[in-house]
A = this chain, B = another copy of it.
Amino acid sequence: MAKVFSAEEGSCWVVLHGNVYDVTEFLPEHPGGSKIILQLAGRDATAEYDPIHPPGTLEENLKPEAKLGVVDPESLKKLQRQAAQGKDAEEQKAPPPPLHTLLNLDEIEAAAKTQISKKCWAYYFSAADDLHSKYLNNTAYRNILLRPRVFVDVTRASTATTLLGHKVATPLYVSPAAMARLAHPDGEAGIARGISRFGAMQIVSHNASMTPEQIVADAAPDQVFGWQLYVQTSRAKSEAMLARIGKLRDRYKFVVLTLDAPVPSKREHDEKAGIETQLLVESSKSEEEKAKKGGRPDSSSGVGQQLFWGTAADLTWDTTLPWLAKHTDLPIVLKGIQTHEDAYLAAQYARKNPGSIKAVILSNHGGRSLDTAPPAVHTLLEIRKYCPEVFDIIEVWVDGGIRRGTDIVKALCLGAKAVGVGRAALWGLGAGGWKGVERTFEILQGEIETCMKMMGVTDISELGPRFINTRVVERDIFDGGAGLDKSGLWTSSRAKL
Contacts and interface: CB of A to CB of B under 8 A. Distances in A.
A248 interface: no
A373 B150 contact: no
Contact of A313 (B341, B447, B453, B472): B453
A158 to B, nearest CB: 14
Interface string A369-404: 111111000100000100000000000000000001
A454 B262 contact: yes
A489 interface: yes
A451 B154 contact: no
A150 B260 contact: yes
A371 to B, nearest CB: 6
A328 to B, nearest CB: 18
Contacts of A470: 497
Given A103-B266, A154-B262, A313-B153, A148 B339 contact: yes
A263 B99 contact: no
Interface stretch (A62-70, A315-323, A422-430): A315-323
A457 to B, nearest CB: 11
Given A370-B406, A406-B371, A265 B450 contact: yes
A370 B103 contact: no
B145 A374 contact: yes
A149 B450 CA distance: 37
A337 interface: yes
Contact of A336 (B150, B279, B477, B478): B150
Interface string A342-383: 100100000000000000000010000111111000100000
B99 A337 contact: no
A129 B313 contact: no
| A interface: dominant SS | loop
A150 B342 contact: yes
Nearest to A379: B147
Nearest to A371: B406
A406 B450 CA distance: 34
Interface residues of A, number: 95
B315 A153 contact: yes
Given A100-B300, A464-B492, A144 B471 contact: no
Contact of A478 (B271, B279, B406, B471): B471
A31 interface: no
Contacts of A144: 372
Given A313-B155, A339-B149, A471-B477, A103 B268 contact: yes
A147 B454 contact: no
A16 interface: no
A267 to B, nearest CB: 10
A263 B497 contact: no
B100 A154 contact: no
Contacts of A155: 313-314
A475 interface: yes
A53 interface: no
A282 to B, nearest CB: 11
Contacts of A148: 260, 338-339, 364, 369-370, 373
A270 to B, nearest CB: 10
A146 to B, nearest CB: 5
A240 interface: no
Interface in A447-497: 447, 450-451, 453-456, 464-466, 469-472, 474-481, 489-490, 492, 495, 497
A480 B466 contact: yes
A98 interface: yes
B316 A146 contact: no
Contacts of A446: 266
A315 to B, nearest CB: 6
A407 B368 CA distance: 17
B453 A98 contact: no
A439 interface: yes
Count chain B CB atoms within 10 A of each CB in A435, A470, A471, A489 and give the residue with the most. Answer: A471
A477 B315 CA distance: 39
B100 A291 contact: yes
Interface in A404-457: 404, 406, 435, 439, 446-447, 450-451, 453-456
Interface string A215-255: 00000000000000000000000000000000000000000
A284 interface: no
Given A99-B287, A99-B291, A497-B470, A316 B372 contact: no
A142 interface: yes
A290 interface: yes
Q: 7 closest A-B pairs (Cβ-Cβ)?
A: A150-B259, A370-B454, A469-B478, A100-B291, A153-B314, A465-B497, A263-B453
